[in-house]
Amino acid sequence: MIRLQNINLTSPEAIQRLANNHAIAVNLRDAFPYPYTIEDAITVCYVNFQN
């Protein structure tokens, strides 16, 4: 079962751990960085928090 959660400013470590996957990056072309760093996760959290 898959459980969706809101992305928030307290979860960049979890996002980085889950998103740092070569298979994800390959299927999303140049739009998704690999390796996916903690800085990438913080940026995603910040952008989503602002919206």
Range of the domain at 16: 1-41
Residue-wise pLDDT for 1-51, tens only, equals: 888 877 666 688 888 998 999 999 999 878 889 999 999 998 877 776 665
pLDDT of 31 reads 80
- Total domains in the chain come to 1
Q: What is the pLDDT of residue 29?
A: 77
The distance in angstroms from the start CA to the end CA of the chain is 28
Query: Would residue 2 count as lying in a domain?
Result: yes
In a domain, 47, yes or no: no
Amino acid code (one letter) for 43: T
Q: What does 1-51 look like in DSSP terms, one character per residue?
A: --------TT-HHHHHHHH--HHHHHHTGGGS-SS--HHHHHHHHHHHHH-
Can you give the pTM of this predicted structure?
A: 0.66
Residue 9 lies in a domain: yes
